[in-house]
Amino acid sequence: MTVSNVSKRPIRIGTRGSALALAQASEVRARLMAAHDLDEDAFEIAVMSTSGDRILDRPLSEVGGKGLFTKEIEEALHECRIDLAVHSSKDMASALPEGLHLSAFLEREDVRDAFIGRTASTIAELPEGAVVGSASLRRQALLQRLRPDLRLVILRGNVQTRLAKLANGDVDATLLALAGLKRLGLEDRATEILDETAFPPAPGQGAICIETRVGDAETEALVAAIDHAPTHRALLAERAFLAELDGSCRTPIAAHATITGERVQLSGMILSPDGAHAHSGRREGLAADGEALGRALARSLLEEAGPAFFEGWAR
């Protein structure tokens, strides 16, 4: 497949089937159409159901981790049933299947988390013992760090499912990525936008990534035209931090890198699941050294926390 002969068959874009995933895949398609002067019929969006979409009664940490959101899509990519896959970067495991890599990132959206309260508009206004639903260990740990009196429950499902459960009174509040709400036109549902310094985001939050086969030069040339270099550099630093920590959905980890010119600033945090213990740090240097900075920051936090910090819950 080349950009010049794509009319022979559509370029197949693999994605999950949620409204947010489809919005992200459609954004990638629109950007590729504009970059290469292609019509919409030059693309096919292949919708796939993943294990993470189907298993909703248990925390991801109990059934295989965040890779459950990508497993079936990555299998299709590896088997050449699709040409590229579109994901939320924060859903990507730190280690990808052999033969696949993240070759492009769209310009990052807002990295912040949004609080959505049913009866209270802010975290501070929640009454003692209020029930907050979230599937993210990071959000749970940060919430407990701020409000140890709250009762936290697992709330799985797509954005619309979680909002429906909130409206039905299953929980008093929930937390969602502001970027996802914006992409769905639901930003007005947020009752409080959480500052990223006090409530740091997950590695990769707010960034759409494109996964391709290693060595597929034609597809990589296609997506290179829409790669946003500053976002790409920031995500390399954050993912190196995550990988050094062997991070997964079993480990409450936050990270955020920003690029200014040729410089990168990276902040990171590791927490105990109950939020009672946290270690954070910051590194700054050349953006080209972002991955090395990410690994160095992770090692420094592990050294500060001690070898027993992740024992019993990180595996």
What pLDDT, in 10s, does the model give residues 172-209?
Answer: 999 999 999 999 999 999 999 999 999 999 999 999 99
3-state secondary structure 150-214: CEEECCCCCHHHHHHHHHCCCCCEEEEEHHHHHHCCCHHHCCEECCCCCCCCCCCCCCEEEEEEC
Domains by residue range for the chain, with CATH? 1-106+207-227 (3.40.190.10), 113-193 (3.40.190.10), 229-315 (3.30.160.40)
**CA gap 270, 200 in Å, rounded:** 11
Q: Which of 83, 91, 113, 172 is catalytic?
A: 91
Low-confidence residues in the chain, pLDDT < 50: 1-2, 4-7, 55-56, 63, 248-249, 314-315
Secondary element (H or E) of residue 113: strand 113-117
- Tokens read off for 31: 């950007």
**CA gap 109, 125 in Å, rounded:** 28
pLDDT value, residue 1:
45
pLDDT in tens, 222-266: 999 999 999 999 999 999 999 999 754 467 999 999 999 999 999
Local structure of residue 118 (DSSP, 8 states): S
Q: Report the side by side order of strands in the sheet with 84-88.
A: 43-47, 11-15, 84-88, 208-213, 100-105
91 is an active site residue: yes
